[in-house]
Structure 1
């Protein structure tokens, strides 16, 4: 298995222990705001659902949004968002101890099923993961939302304008001294990371006509964002496309026009047995999914990671703003 993809800032909050049979799952807070659907319907009246998530900010936010909305639709929801690490929430769902979990198609393809083929088309990748997961684990990967939390490179707005750059192919066409990069150690060493990416774009690493080793600065992932915003020591830094710092620091995400990076489309995963009992979940979760975009996730993630707001509050405020709950 390739290294687990590291996500941005782990949510720090008081942990309420909620041990589940066989997996020791831990909840971030176990709370969300009470609400109801604007039309007063309760299509999930009588349903008992367990919503979990991983512990990084975006995962917790998606879990809180889902828990709040499904409870507003009448379900009795147990909130087990914020499971530490990547394995515990996944294992809880496989064990039948959790019903709903937001995942990423790239994670399913690479980390869960050890696939190495790069599938650039987001729909095709989702379809392939959907088929494997249904067949092997009886999990239903619902149609993905409209956001893709994948790797990318970004530049500060002044540098993007100065260098007239919008895509990685345009970076490849620059003078060698302008091809300066900031990356973290994990991304630098990945078999699907920095060095293969440079090869894909025809600017090989440690090549005087490509990207000399002196043009690359390796640093902590969190520092990459501020270094990129300052434009020193690099013009281009590795980012995650839905990270709140992209918007907060006014970074310009470059187009991966040769489709090197695997899509990481956000997807709600539901145990098939639960979906059979409550088919209304397809439409309800689909309503959430169609509202979620890269720009929105940047905003919501930033409210937690940068502004220090509670994920449950951010989830509730967004659902109210969109008139999905009242």
Structure 2
């Protein structure tokens, strides 16, 4: 196992040093000397705003280090991005450790410690798929269910997902839910949540929409009162939505890492660590929420938002 250290900020006055294991053998310690001159790297991403931002962060940072980058950002959903990486169509994209743990590896119990969750995913993906997970970002983009804060009294002031189950009993028509297509079928989405909490939202109370439409549908309470959200999405604050507490701790942590193919990491590992460790450290919850709001609410281009953030943090 190859040891690597990175610093993750935990507050305005405290920095926590964490020793991570990046899961390589003795023959895969990583090459490169901090430069990517001559490297050709294909960058991908999923298709929602946060992923477009992260994909552009990778693209700009790699180009800044001298790499020739092929842009395959906005490939589609999780399955499309993962297939592109495992097949070698792309060399890297940002993936969430909770997604890997539940969806890729079919585990049913998330690991509550973010570093242990990262290490478990990194070890398994290295061993099974020759993929290398770099240091995880601090922010957590887990799933949640949210409703308009102004509708709290009308909906019985729900605070937890368990309260949604109680609302299904007392006023079934009020417990309508809008979700995007992946969440409607994933083990770490609606089916798994219903199993963990012991209730089921009737099919006629579930509406599947494009991701961007879920937020506005919940905000307008048309056609649903509750919407599936990503907890780092800037639209939660902009629309004044209240996120239900996951009181059973069902949803895993979703700290993202840049994931690279072993071939690219073997050749340029030192340079990639040097580039992405400071990026991961700087990607706090506030930082990601702010960038998401710039794109999702203020309608700025993801590449512009990524470039501004990198410059503001001295990373370009």
Q: TM-score, normalised by structure 2?
A: 0.72
Contact 1:156 1:250 in 2 (8 A): yes
In 1, distance between residues paired with 2:224 and 2:303? 36
Q: Which runs of 5+ in 1 are unaligned?
A: 1-41, 206-210
Q: Partner of 1:267 in structure 2?
A: 257
Q: State yes or no: 1:243 paired with 2:233.
A: yes
1:218 aligns with one of 191, 207, 229: 207
The counterpart of 1:124, out of the listed 107, 112, 116, is 116
Post-superposition CA distance 1:118-165 (Å, at most 9, x none): 314243332222112111222111232122333211122223477554
Q: Deviations over 1:247-284 (max 9, x none)?
A: 33122222212111233321111233433433132232
2-structure distance, mates of 1:143, 1:127: 10
Partners of 2:293 and 2:307 lie apart in 1 by 15
1:199 CA drift (Å)? 4.5
Cα separation, partners in 2 of 1:215 and 1:81, compared to 1, 3 Å: closer
Equivalents in 2 of 1:238, 1:93: separation in Å? 27
Partner Cα separation in structure 2 for residue 266 and residue 194 of structure 1: 21
Of 45, 58, 66, the residue aligned with 1:54 is 45
Whole-Å separation in 2 of the counterparts to 1:233 and 1:77: 46
Structure 1 partner of 2:148: 156
Indicate the larger mover: 253-262 or 239-248.
Answer: 239-248
* Structure 1: distance between partners of 2:109 and 2:38: 39
| Alpha-carbon distance, 1:82 to partner | 1.7
Q: How many pairs are equivalent? A: 275
Structure 2 equivalent of residue 28 of structure 1: none
- The 1:131/1:318 distance shift into structure 2, 3 A limit, reads same
C-alpha contact 1:51 1:66 (8 A) present in aligned 2 = no
Q: Corresponding residue for 1:168?
A: 161
Runs of 4+ in 1 over 6 A off after TM superposition: none
CA contact (8 A) 2:63 2:69 kept: no
RMSD of Structure 2 on Structure 1 (CA): 3.3
TM-aligned CA distance change 1:51 to 1:246, over 3 Å = farther
SS of equivalent to 1:290? helix
CA positional deviation for 1:51: 4.0
- The 3 A distance-change label for structure 1 pair 44 and 97 is farther
